[in-house]
Chain A
Amino acid sequence: MNRKPTSRRQFLKAAIAVGASTALWQAPAVAQGTSRVVVVGGGFAGSTCARALRRLDAKLQVTMVEANPTFTACPFSNSVIAGLRELKAQQFTYEGVAGDEVKLVVATAIAIDSQARSVALDSGETLSYDRLVLAPGIDIRWDALPGYDEAAANRMPHAWKAGEQTMLLRRQLEAMEDGGLVVISVPANPFRCPPGPYERASLIAYYLSTRKPRSKLIVLDSKDVFSKQRLFQNAWKELYPGLLEWVSLSSGGKVTSVDPTTNTLVTDFAKHEAKVANVIPPQKAGRIAERAGVADQIGWCAIDPVTFESRLRPNIHVIGDAAIAGGMPKSAFAANAQAKVCAAAVVKLLRGETPAPPKLINTCYSLVTPDYGISIAGVYHPANGQLAEVPGSGGISQVDAPRSTRSLEATLANDWFRTITTEVFG
């Protein structure tokens, strides 16, 4: 960060003076000019990438486009819903990002011209780029579940983007009388945060068991298998017997429509009229991905596993939840890891160099109670054009671990949140 603007040129001069090898000369395709990178989205992926780009090459002009002046983090937002944490603990400003000399533009990107390499903003401004990084996160597919549109979300919150929706679901739970029925519906893969619905079910069950113990929680699932399944189900049996019921796809759990006027969720076999209904709807990449032409037919973005460059448009990279990163799940940890790898690749590509195949980690903690944590971890590398799990690595917490290990993992979950948010926003 303390590099002087001329250091690279001075370095090259010095290299010539000492008769450097020609390898040094192949580098700077654009070394004379200043390369411009635009990052769209200021979540875990976008903010990490923007800062990493500046740290890797202090000559880069990096602009980050983000619609909200404050970021509200999803990890730990299930604790907010359960009344265990305040929303304020989830919120971060962009002062740290700006401190790395990233130019912040508070606006929404509305169109991308991949030929002209430009981003149009809702403010009327247009930004030119040499390389573009899209980190738009997710959008809800409002057309995918009959009855569930934006108006319905005010009655049956999704709370799958943290913020007002998180607080709406919390207030509904708080207002519910003891003995009420809470229903959560879970979509088919892929979606943001694969273990998230089950952590949410756990923490809502925790809230109900401690505050409204005559209540009932039903989880209607569009899947038969899910992340950390044995760990969750063992914990539910031990901690929330009779309170939490999970209905799998093959048991008729798939929600086929909802009716917000009666707060009803409909499956092929039953209608559940809920006091509190949390509809986690089908999702897709944030809509700018579609407008940029980098989203596929099912709404997500295929990427090169080395550079995170789109398979569909050159010079546009996609990271975080919007990307289909092979075996890597859509998590904040993965978004942060991908962002750093993508930043390094972008810097190399701008210099005309070839990035080496990367290796990335994912680690996700879930809470079953505030003092009961479980995790999944994985190591990923490019294989057959995808990011695949390194054979023999990864997996979930020990199924038969003692309670002290669960307590330790709950502590480590909190430690992780502090560490990653400090790196990304601090």
Chain B
Amino acid sequence: MKLTGLSIAGAATLALIAAAMAASPESPVGAASCSGCHPARPGVQSAVPRLTGRNPADIVAQMRAFRSGQRAATVMDRIAKGYSDAEVEAIAAWYAAQQ
């Protein structure tokens, strides 16, 4: 999916946060719950994608699409509405930095 509407400042913030979090096991606010459904480890049979190592801009764009209803969902539409753009950006950056 194309990245739409993410400002240059936002992208720069993502990069900064990603760099700062690269070695940290400590996750940003709201990130801890995600691995209840998104497998933290490889090898789990699931239709739900892993977030680890994923392009942060993609996660941000998907969460916006879930929130707006642009992308159909089962539960992610309901969950995305509980997160701000800033929170999603921090979470996406942290996941991108994880191995």
Contacts and interface: CB of A to CB of B under 8 A. Distances in A.
Contact of A415 (B25, B26, B47, B79): B47
Nearest to A395: B78
Looking at B32, B40, B79, the one whose CB has the most chain A CB atoms below 10 A away is B32
A412 B79 CA distance: 15
A361 B36 contact: yes
A352 interface: no
Chain B, interface residues (CB within 8 Å), range: 20 to 34
B30 A359 contact: yes
A122 to B, nearest CB: 32
B5 interface: no
B81 interface: yes
B3 interface: no
Contacts, number: 113
B29 A358 contact: yes
B35 interface: yes
B33 interface: yes
| Interface of B (DSSP majority class) | loop
Nearest to A389: B82
Contacts of B81: 379, 390, 392-394
B38 interface: yes
A357 interface: yes
B75 A375 contact: yes
Interface string A113-146: 0000000000000000000000000000000000
B8 interface: no
Contact of A337 (B32, B40, B48): B32
Contact of B78 (A394, A411, A423): A394
26 contacts: A340-B33, A340-B35, A347-B26, A361-B33, A361-B34, A361-B82, A363-B37, A363-B79, A375-B74, A379-B79, A379-B83, A381-B82, A389-B82, A393-B83, A394-B78, A412-B37, A412-B48, A412-B74, A412-B75, A415-B45, A416-B46, A418-B45, A419-B37, A419-B39, A423-B39, A426-B41
